[in-house]
């Protein structure tokens, strides 16, 4: 082997060894797909716990699923922190709402879930838009996912 070809071969072996030693690299698209499926499953499970609190609709149901730093922002520009939210006229769903178009992203102890909800509900005596997008951010604490922030884009009837 000539000197130049030898250097090229050594370089290729070194680069190959480097990438195969890196966690997650070289494992193929199956590992990436499995990780994405796990993030999706965790996001869906966290979302179901949050929505179940809305079915109960009491401060006692919401308190354990909301992080201390929780904030909500609504389509009308109103917003609350956790303390204000728990003292407010909390939503109460008659049944688990229909959830669609779910997109979950996350890394480590953070999940971001973008989705749409279809439900019949009122807030402060006004009908809530039946189908509207939502965005919920979760933070892992122990074995639980807590809601850090929630954006509700449903408008109210005029």
pTM, to two decimals: 0.77
pLDDT class of 18 with cuts at 50, 70, 90? very low
138 by DSSP, 3-state: which? strand
18 by DSSP, 3-state: which? helix
Q: Are 62 and 53 in contact (CB under 8 A)?
A: yes
Domain that holds residue 41: 32-152
For 120-129, what is each residue's pLDDT tens digit? 887 777 888 9
- Domain assignment present for residue 84? The answer is yes
Q: Is the dihedral of CA 117, 123, 129, 130 positive or negative?
A: positive
* Domain count across the chain: 1
Number of H helices, E strands in the chain: 4, 8
Query: Chain-wide mean pLDDT for the chain?
Result: 84
For 31-55, what is each residue's pLDDT tens digit? 666 667 789 999 999 999 999 999 9
* CATH number, domain with residue 44: 3.10.450.50
Instruction: Kindly state the average pLDDT of the residues 105-118.
Output: 96
Report whether pLDDT(12) > 80.
no
- Domain assignment present for residue 10? The answer is no
Which has the higher per-residue pLDDT, 119 or 26?
Answer: 119
């Amino acid at each position: 082997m000539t000197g130049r070809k030898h250097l090229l071969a050594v370089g290729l072996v070194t680069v190959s060894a480097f990438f195969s030693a890196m966690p997650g690299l070289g494992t193929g698209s199956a590992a990436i797909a499995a990780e994405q499926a796990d993030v999706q499953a965790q996001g869906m499970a966290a979302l179901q716990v949050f929505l179940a609190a809305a079915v109960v609709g009491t401060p006692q149901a919401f308190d354990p699923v909301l992080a201390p730093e929780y904030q909500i922002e609504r389509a009308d520009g109103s917003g609350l922190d956790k303390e204000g939210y728990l003292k407010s006229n909390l939503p109460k769903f008659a049944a688990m709402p229909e959830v669609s178009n779910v997109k979950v992203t996350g890394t480590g102890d953070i999940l971001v879930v973008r989705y749409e909800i279809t439900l019949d509900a009122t807030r402060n005596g006004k009908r809530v838009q039946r189908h509207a997008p939502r965005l919920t951010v979760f933070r892992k604490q122990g074995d639980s996912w807590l809601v850090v922030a929630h954006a509700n884009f449903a408008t109210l009837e005029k």
